[in-house]
A and B are shown apart, each in its own frame.
Chain A
Amino acid sequence: MPAAVTLRGITKRFPGVVANDHVDFEAAEGEVHALLGENGAGKSTLSNILTGLYRPDEGEILIRGTPVAFASPREALGAGICMVHQHFRLVAPFTVAENVILGDHRGEGKKFVVHPRRVERRVAELGERYRLAVDPRARIWQLSLGEQQRVEILKALYREAQILILDEPTAVLTPQEADSLFETLRVMAGEGRTIVFISHKLHEVAAVSDRVTVLRGGKNVATVSTKETTPHSLASLMVGRDVAATTRIVWEREAGAPVLEVEDLWAVGDRGDDAVRGVSLSVRAGEIVAIAGVAGNGQRELAEAVTGMRPASRGSLKVDGAPLRLGDARAAIRAGVAHVPEDRLHTGVAPSLPIASNVVLKSYRNRDVSYGPLLRLATIRDRAAELILRYDVRGGRPSLPARQLSGGNLQKVVLAREFYGRPRVLVVASPTRGLDVAAIETVHGYLREAAANGVGVLLISEDLDEIMALADRIAVLYEGAIVGERPGGEATADELGLLMAGAHAA
C-alpha cells in the first residue's frame, strides 16, 4: 500500500515541554491507523501539525510522497486532510447543510447566494452511502452529540477529504453508536481513504484499526500491526511499564443507612428545557452508586441540582434523613455533601488563586480558619502544605496558582479539600476525564477509600469501564431520566449500552 501521509522526525517544542520528539509516522491509503497514547503523550500536537494548525520546529511532512509545508489549516484542507475535533466546530443555530459548506471555498460554498437544496441533496446522499443518518435541514442545536459527530464526518466527506483524523471520537457515543461509527470508518477506508484514529481506549483500537502507533512522552515508541499485538502489550507500551487491566475489586463492606435520598428531582437546563426529569435514587453509606449515560443526557445538571448549584424545579433531597433546601449550595455543603465537579479547572477551583485559597474554598467561613470576619492566613497556609504532602500534589506549594497544576494534581487538590470536611455524601462527576493512567488509579483509590470510610458516593461518569470497575449499583440516565438500574457485578457493557441509547429495557 502506498503511503498517504508520512511524517519524518517531527519535533515540536512548547515553552517547558517537548510535545513531539522526532516522531516518525506513516499511514497508508485505505488504512485505519490508530494513534494511541495517554493524555499529554503528544497525540493532539501531532494531529495539529498534520492539519496545519501548528508548524513543526523540525522534520518534514509528505503527502503521497511529496513534501509539503502547511502555513494554515486551509492549506491542509486543500491537500485533502480533514479533522474531526473532540469539541465540535459547528455553528449551533445553522442547519446541517449550512455547516457542511461553511468555510468551504469550492462549489456551493464559494457563491454569494447559496442554494441550500443542492447541498442538502448531496448531504443526504452521502449520509445514506456511509450510514451517517442526519436530517440535512435540522439545526445543530437540535441534534444529539452523536449526530453532531456525524455532521463533522459528513463535512469531511463533502469536501472529499482523503485523509480523515478523528480525535477521541467515541467519547460522546454509546457502545452501539461507536460500533456503527467503526463500520462507517471501515467503508471509508475500503474506498482508499486514510483514517487516523486517535484514542486512549485499547479495545476500540483493537476493534477498528489496521495498525497502531503508540506515543509516549512525545516519542513514537512503536508502530505495530493490530493483528500481531494484544491489548495488554499495547497498554504496557502506552504506559511504559507492565499494567494490569482495570479490574473490578470486590471488597466486603457493610452498606449502611441511606445517606442521600433523591425523590422525583426535576431541574431546568441551560437552554431552558427540563434537563433532569424526575430522578429518584438513594445512596447508602459506604456504597458507590454510578450514573451511566452518554454525554449530554442531564448528568451535569443532575450533579448540580443534587449539590445545590442549580435550582431544582421540583422534588426533594434528604441527607442523613434530614431534608435539604433545594438550590442552596451553602446548605448542601453544611449538610456534608461534597462535590467533585466535571469542570475541575473553572468550577472545582478558582484557577488564578493560590492552592492555599482553593483548599479553603468551601470552609473559609469555619471557625478553624477564620476569626470573626478575619481569615487565619497562617493556618490556611499550613493546611495547604499539609494536604499537598498528604495527597502527593506534585509541584504544589501553597502559594502556587491552581491553574499551574497538571490535571491529575489539580484533581488531588479538589479531592483533598472535599475529603477534609468529612463529608457524608460525595458527588463526583467524570473524575478521571483527561487524566493519565497513574492518576486514574490514584483517584479510583481515593473513591474506594471514601466508600470504605462510610461515605455514600454518587459517581456520574461517561466512562463505562470506570463505572463497571467501581460501582455497587449502576443506574442509567437517558434524556434526564433514569431508565434502568443494575447491580454493579452483573451488568454488561452491551446491556448498559442499550439502556444508554434509550431502549427501555427496565
Chain B
Amino acid sequence: MIRIERRLTQPRWLTFVVPLASIAFAFVVMTVVLLITGHAPLHTFRLLIDNAFGSVDALNASFVAATPLIFTGLCVAVAFRMQLFNIGGEGQLYMGAIFGAAAGIALGNHSGWLSVPAMVLAGAAGGAALALIPAVLRAYLNTNEIITSLMLNYVAALVLNYLIFDSESYWRDTSSATAKVFPQGKNLPPAANWPSTSLGQLVLPLGLLVGVAVAVLVWFLYNRTRFGFEVQVIGDSPRAAGYAGMRTRRMILAVMALSGAVAGIGGASQDGDFRHTLDPRGLSSALYGYTGIVVAALGRYNPFAVCVIAFLLGGLQNAGYALQGADFPSGLVGVLQGLILFCALGGEVLIRHRIRIQLRRPAAEATEATA
C-alpha cells in the first residue's frame, strides 16, 4: 500500500534536488518516446542542446525566444503571489503590441530616446488596461479571474486580427496595391526599432535587458516594500488582510494592472525588438502567454527563477524550430516541454509530501495529525 503524507518540514536540499531529478526523469520518458517514434535518443538530445545553447548563433536565437517568455512568465508570477490567476498574459501581450506599435508609428522617425521609452509605456498601458477588466470584475463582483482573463485572450486576438486583416486601421499598411491585397501592418519607423547590445559575439535584445530589469524591480517591490507586504498578506490570508485594515480591492486592481503591464511590455518588445510591425500571425502562433504560465510554474513564481527558466525553455523552443524537418515533427519538442512541466509539477508534490510504502493494509488516515 502506498500512501502520500504531508511533510511537516521541507528540507532545503529537496528544493534543489527534486526539480533537477524531475527534469532528468522527463528526459528518461522522452527517451522512450523517441525510441518509439524511431529516433536515436542520445543523438536527438545532443542536437537539441547544440541548437539551443551550443554555439553563439544558437545562444543568440535562444535569447530572442526567451525574451517574450520572461515577460509573460513574470506576468503570471506577479499575480500569483497574491493568489490571483492571470491566465490572460496572451491577450495582454497582444494589447501591449497594439499600443506599442501605435506609439512607435505616431512618434515618427525622430529619436529612439523618445520612441523606445514611449513604446514601453504604451505597451504597459495596453496590457494593464486589458488586465483591469478581470480585476474590476474580481474585486467588485467576485467573479473568477481565471475564466474572465482567459476569455479576454480571444477578444484580444480578434481585435488584433481585425486591425490588420479586416479593417483599414491606423496599424495597417495601405500604401501600395499589393499591401491592399495581402494585408500586413505598417512598418515602424527606424527610430522605433529597439537597439540591441553586443557582448562579444552575443547579441542581447533590449527587450531581454528590460525583462531582467523588470524582474529585479518586481523582486524589490515584493520583498522590500509596504506594497509587497500587503501582497504577501493578502495572498496568504485575505481574512488576516481585512483584519489588518488592508484595502484588498484596491490591491487586486493594482496587482492585476501590474501583471498586465508586464505582459504588455513584452508585446511592445515584440514590435520594437523583432518584428518592426504589428504582426498578428507571428504573435499568436507562438503562444507566448500560455508558455508563460509554464515558465512561472517551473520558476516557482520567483522573478529570478522565471528569467532562468524562460531562457531554458526559450532555448528548447528555438532548438525545436532548428530541428524541425521531414523526419523530426515539431510536435516532438512540444512533447518534451510538456513532459518537463508534468514531471516538475509532480516533483512539487514530492517536496511537500512524502510517499510511504506500507506492506500491511492501513486504515484510511487523515494526512494531517489532529492530535
Contacts and interface: CB of A to CB of B under 8 A. Distances in A.
A362 B237 CA distance: 14
B177 interface: no
B245 A53 contact: no
Contacts of A388: none
B232 A350 contact: yes
Interface string B195-221: 000000000000000000000000000
Contacts of B233: 350, 353, 357, 361
Contacts of A309: 242-243
A339 B243 contact: yes
Contacts, number: 107
B358 to A, nearest CB: 10
Contacts of A351: 236-237, 240
B239 A72 contact: no
Given A15-B5, A361-B244, 14 more contacts: A15-B8, A17-B369, A52-B363, A53-B365, A329-B242, A330-B246, A331-B245, A333-B245, A346-B237, A357-B229, A362-B244, A374-B225, A375-B224, A377-B224
Contact of A365 (B224, B226, B232, B361): B226
A292 interface: no
B240 A349 contact: yes
Given A17-B369, A40-B371, A329 B243 contact: yes
A308 B370 CA distance: 33
Interface in B9-45: none
B332 to A, nearest CB: 40
14 contacts: A15-B8, A42-B371, A53-B363, A72-B363, A309-B242, A329-B245, A331-B245, A346-B240, A347-B239, A350-B232, A350-B240, A353-B232, A373-B226, A375-B226
Nearest to A417: B244
Interface residues of B, number: 29
Interface residues of A, number: 50
Interface string B275-317: 0000000000000000000000000000000000000000000
Contact of B229 (A17, A42, A375): A375
Contacts of A12: 371
B147 to A, nearest CB: 25
B364 interface: yes
A112 B308 CA distance: 57
Interface of A: 12, 14-17, 19, 40, 42, 44-45, 48, 52-55, 70-73, 218, 307-309, 328-333, 339, 341, 343, 346-353, 357, 361-362, 364-365, 370, 373-375, 377
Nearest to B360: A55
Nearest to B242: A309
A370 B365 contact: no
A430 to B, nearest CB: 15
The 7 A-B residue pairs with the shortest CB-CB distance, nearest first, are A330-B245, A55-B363, A14-B369, A19-B371, A329-B245, A350-B236, A350-B240
Given A71-B364, A329-B245, A352 B236 contact: yes
